[in-house]
Structure 1
């Protein structure tokens, strides 16, 4: 997520930390079918706007603490059980997807491809760099595993 929001100089990444973490914690994960906030806290995260427009008519101090705790624990157990089921389904799906693409790739001339380039340069963090570059066009096939590619019509 950081590689999408920070500049190429990788400066000031710490300014984006709260925003990226909020987005991560409030996004539904494909494997669990739940947000990390639900899994951890038993509720969704609030934005400042949510607190501004919340209905304060119900006084939380009147609620029985034991009843609240029972309800909270029940919700947590249900969400964790659902997450376990979703993880099993996601695992099966990921295995099927892996088996479909686990064969060797062949590309034809003129096809668009992405170049995997994990090198980030001196003084930059590889974790914050986008490792894929492109799209490139296949110019010619040199062997079963080696291809000559070109970024644009005028690039080297």
Structure 2
């Protein structure tokens, strides 16, 4: 953690949604490391720089671009690409100061627009995912006296993998508005 200047902070275990983006990023990094680290898994820290580079330069569907492009406002160029474009790079580096300043202002405006577009893309992606999820939810109508099973969604926190998450049967005593049900 000292090497990469990471401050370790604990998030609430019962609210993983509070760090959803971090969890998604970590899962992507873990997947890259699993593929690149060989039999000796102790060498993962040697491959971390390469894994981070791969993650930052990979296209992300929710934002519609790469994280690298969001930070720097342009696609990344590998050293071999720059070698072939040396003349192009020299030409762009040798602007006079007024032209370079104007060019930089344009680039900063483009970067701001790019980030706004990524934010909008992210919202659209989330709404689309929510629509797909909500379409799969079946609307159930429960009546007093029905026999039902209760699903324990917190079981993963407390006990083993092979224990059933369903308990019951229970009888419905009262049905409240907005889906709340009293069981006995």
TM-score, structure 2 length as denominator?
A: 0.50
Change (3 A) 1:102 1:8: farther
Specify the structure having the higher radius of gyration (Cα).
Answer: 2
SS of 1:30 mapped into structure 2 = coil
Task: Using the TM superposition, give the Cα deviation of residue 92 of structure 1 relative to its aligned residue in structure 2, in angstroms.
Answer: 0.8
Where do 1:1-156 residues align within 5 Å? 1-7=32-38, 9-57=40-88, 58-63=91-96, 64-100=99-135
| TM-align CA RMSD | 2.5
TM-score, structure 1 length as denominator?
A: 0.58
Q: Gapped runs of 5+ residues in structure 1?
A: 104-142, 146-156
Q: Distance in 2 between matches of 1:59 and 1:29?
A: 29
Instruction: Extract structure 1 runs of 4+ deviating beyond 6 A.
Output: none
Change (3 A) 1:144 1:14: closer
Which gives a bigger RCO, structure 1 or 2 (Cα 8 Å, sep 6+)?
A: 1
Task: Using the TM superposition, give the Cα deviation of residue 8 of structure 1 relative to its aligned residue in structure 2, in angstroms.
Answer: 5.2
Q: Distance in 2 between matches of 1:60 and 1:34?
A: 26
Q: Gapped runs of 5+ residues in structure 2?
A: 1-31, 139-163, 167-184
Task: Using the TM superposition, give the Cα deviation of residue 144 of structure 1 relative to its aligned residue in structure 2, in angstroms.
Answer: 8.9
Change (3 A) 1:19 1:101: farther
